[in-house]
Amino acid sequence: MLVIGSGAAGLTLALQLASHARVAVMAKSSLNEGSTNYAQGGIAAVLDAADSFDSHVQDTLDAGGGLCDPAVVRFVAQNAPEAIRRLADYGVEFTRDTDHGGADYHLTREGGHSHRRIVHAADATGRAVETTLERQVRAADIALFEHHIAVDLIRASTGYRRCIGAYALDRRDGRVKTFRARVVVLASGGFSKVYLYTSNPDGSTGDGVAMAWRAGCRVANMEFCQFHPTCLYHPQAKSFLITEAVRGEGGRLLLPNGQRFMDKFDPRGELAPRDIVARAIDHEMKRLGIDCVYLDISHKPAEFIRAHFPTVYSECLKFGHDMTTGPIPVVPAAHYSCGGVMTNMKGQTDLHGLYAIGEVSFTGLHGANRMASNSLLECLVFGAAAAADILATLPAISQPAAPPPWDESWVTDSDEEVVVSHNWDELRRSMWDYVGIVRSTKRLERAKRRIALLSSEISEYYRSFRVTNDLIELRNLTVTAGLIVASALERRESRGLHYTIDFPEPDAVAAPQNTILTPEGFAGARVR
């Protein structure tokens, strides 16, 4: 079986299958270069006697704006403690509560949570998880294909709708290889790189969503793109994320004059869900014509700050900001994709033999807005759930016939690479300007027209020249951008992460609905 992606979701699944089947893991870059490695905050799990599954479920439902699937939310919450135990068994060294002897995990609190339930490894939880899983995978009997980017999924030419493998470009020699597999798992992450400013690594280009869409799978809730409220504002920082836990431990958002402002927007202040905080910051920046706002936790002891946020502290120092002595400048940036490829609770998609897990998928967990620290949790829980289903069904899955090899006999090397770079830049700027934190029908229609033109240009380019990494990612980003805009135009209300000035309130008449797009005719349909 083939796993496309090497973050928490893909590696969790691969490890659970390695002793039962031949497993290959494909990574666009090195094995650890994905969004998981950059996750700072932690993993939500009920581990305190004062907390409860019901509370975790209710907090998630409240953050999700009426669109979470309650059964999925409960499934994830109830499986969270087991996911933490599994990681600890692998060797992840979570931060302990030294005030109580260090026997229990130190739990912090983040926006939207009513209890302290965030398990973390200082402020670099993702790195701890990713490096531990990577170490386990490299020691297991798993074939690793690093520096390979999937081009497209391969469907069976006869019989029922089935995925039988993928074509992938070896980035080291520029050759496209054919991978045949009884089962293919998309664990390729999200699509926040579609925006000009993002906290995500360069590989978050919507590859899995675009490939699944081209293969005939439905996608859902693509309009809900989460903007993290607090990324470091500095021209060389490349949107370094300032973890939500800084606000969870008492960090205050300030205007340039030192005035707090979040209480004007929500009684929870800085601990309101991310969509509310991001919109509040965006509003104040536009109202005052300022480039950023400020996050201040310097009222806490310096020793406390350095102990709890060593990564953030050291990174800010590199750019001239000492968070122990004063506020640091922050801005929102695209951070997480709540929509994706539709799956059931086993990770199965519309295509036989194709699973999707992690940020690439739409499970019903996040609804209209993901609650902090539920993302790594989703990866871990659904990675395990998909692995269990694959193990149960694998004996009945036949080896597919060899797919046709990649044919590039009619294409040539490009002498117009500038087209790719220009289109890449134009697409991301258009998405930032017209499909960002605050939207309007006019802006969305403008983006739709521009994306359609870019898509036509890129399709012609794709047909004429040999594929490159940049071309593959641009092609996928353009597909993803079109899906985001189509979904946003479908939703004639404001809900969660989707805010439009033309419909500024939630629909008070109709029940909350998911936005589901189907590839046939590219028609959108809003269904419950």
Q: Is 274 a catalytic residue?
A: yes
pLDDT band, residue 526 (cuts 50/70/90): very low
> Are both 424 and 522 inside the same structural domain?
yes
In this structure, the answer to whether residues 425 and 518 fall within a common structural domain is yes
Say what the pLDDT of residue 99 is. 72
List pLDDT tens digits, range 219-232. 999 999 999 899 99
The answer to whether residue 39 is domain-embedded is no
Distance CA 191, CA 27 (A): 16
For residues 43-49, give the mean pLDDT. Answer: 96
**Type and span of the H or E element at 84:** helix 70-90
Residue 523: the pLDDT is 47
- Alpha-carbon span 520 to 514, nearest angstrom: 18
Residue 103 — pLDDT band, cuts 50, 70, 90? low
In this prediction, residue 528 carries a pLDDT of 29
- CATH code of the domain in which 427 resides: 1.20.58.100
Question: How many other C-beta atoms can be found within 10 angstroms of the C-beta atom of residue 486?
Answer: 20
Dump pLDDT digits (tens) for 312-342.
Answer: 999 999 999 999 999 999 999 999 999 999 9
How high is the pLDDT of residue 100? 62
- Residues of the domain holding 512: 417-527
Q: What is the pLDDT of residue 522?
A: 64
Torsion, CA 140, CA 145, CA 150, CA 151, rounded to 10: -150
Positions of E strands within 182-243 = 184-186, 219-220, 225-232
Q: For 366-398, what is each residue's pLDDT tens digit? A: 999 999 899 999 999 999 999 999 999 999 998
Same domain, 422 and 522: yes
**Is there a domain that residue 301 lies in?**
yes
pLDDT above 80 for 468: yes
Are residues 441 and 489 in contact, defined by beta-carbon separation less than 8 angstroms? yes
Q: What percent of the chain has pLDDT over 70?
A: 97
The torsion angles phi and psi of 276, rounded to 5 degrees, stand at -70, -45
N residues, the chain = 528
Task: Classify residue 418 by its DSSP letter.
Answer: H
**In the Cβ-directed half-sphere of 104, how many Cα atoms lie within 13 Å?**
13
| Exposure on the CB side of residue 160, measured as CA atoms within 13 A | 6
CATH number of the domain bearing residue 326 = 3.90.700.10
Residues of the chain by 3-state class (helix, strand, coil), percent to 5:
40, 20, 40
Q: How confident is the model at residue 524 (pLDDT cuts 50, 70, 90)?
A: very low
Provide mean pLDDT across the span 399-409.
88
- 245 in a domain, yes or no? yes
Residue 267 included in any domain: yes
Helices (H) and strands (E) in the chain, counts: 14, 20
- Which of the listed residues 311, 334, 357 is the one where a domain comes to its end? 334
pLDDT at 413 over 90: no
CA-nearest of 367, 32, 357, 33 to 208 is 357
Residue 527 pLDDT grade (very low, low, confident, very high; cuts 50, 70, 90): very low
- pLDDT value for 112: 85
pLDDT by residue (tens digit) across 153-193? 999 987 678 999 999 999 999 999 999 999 999 999 999 99
Q: How confident is the model at residue 111 (pLDDT cuts 50, 70, 90)?
A: confident
Residue ending a domain, among 334, 356, 382, is 334
What pLDDT does residue 273 have? Answer: 82
Is residue 262 a part of any domain in this protein? yes
In the numeric block, which tokens belong to residue 312? 């953030």
Number of domains in the chain: 2
Decide which of 454 and 99 is more confident: 454
The phi and psi torsions of 259 (rounded to 5 degrees) equal: -85, 135
Is residue 311 within 8 A of residue 273, CB to CB? The reply is: no
Task: State how far the alpha carbon of 451 is from the alpha carbons of 200, 412, 479, in Å.
Answer: 22, 25, 9
Instruction: Name every residue whose Cβ is closer than 8 Å to that of residue 344 and which is 6 or more positions away in sequence.
Output: none
Span 9-32, average pLDDT? 96
Split at pLDDT 50, 70, 90, the class of 102 is low
Contacts by 506-513 with C-beta closer than 8 Å and gap 24+?
506/65, 506/66, 512/65, 512/66, 512/67, 512/368, 513/67
CB 330 within 8 A of CB 247: no
- Give every CB contact of residue 200 below 8 A, 6+ residues apart in sequence: 35, 38, 189, 190, 192, 193, 334, 335
The one catalytic residue among 274, 428, 443, 475: 274
pLDDT for 15 beyond 70 = yes
Distances (CA, A) of 61 to 69, 81, 347, 352: 8, 19, 21, 31
Average of per-residue pLDDT across 104-112: 89
pLDDT of residue 366: 97
Q: Write down the mean pLDDT value for the chain.
A: 93
Is residue 315, in this structure, part of any structural domain at all? Answer: yes
Q: Looking at the domain assignment, is residue 382 inside a domain?
A: no
Per-residue pLDDT at 521: 67
Q: How far apart are CA 482 and CA 488, in angstroms?
A: 10
**Beta partners for 356?**
186
Q: 198 in a domain, yes or no?
A: no
Using pLDDT thresholds of 50, 70 and 90, give the confidence band for residue 146.
Answer: very high
In angstroms, the CA 496 to CA 509 distance is 17
Burial class (CB in 10 A: 0-12, 13-18, 19+), 215: buried
pLDDT over threshold 70, residue 500: yes
| Residue 85, pLDDT above cutoff 60 | yes
Last residue of a domain, one of 283, 301, 334: 334
pLDDT at 355 over 80: yes
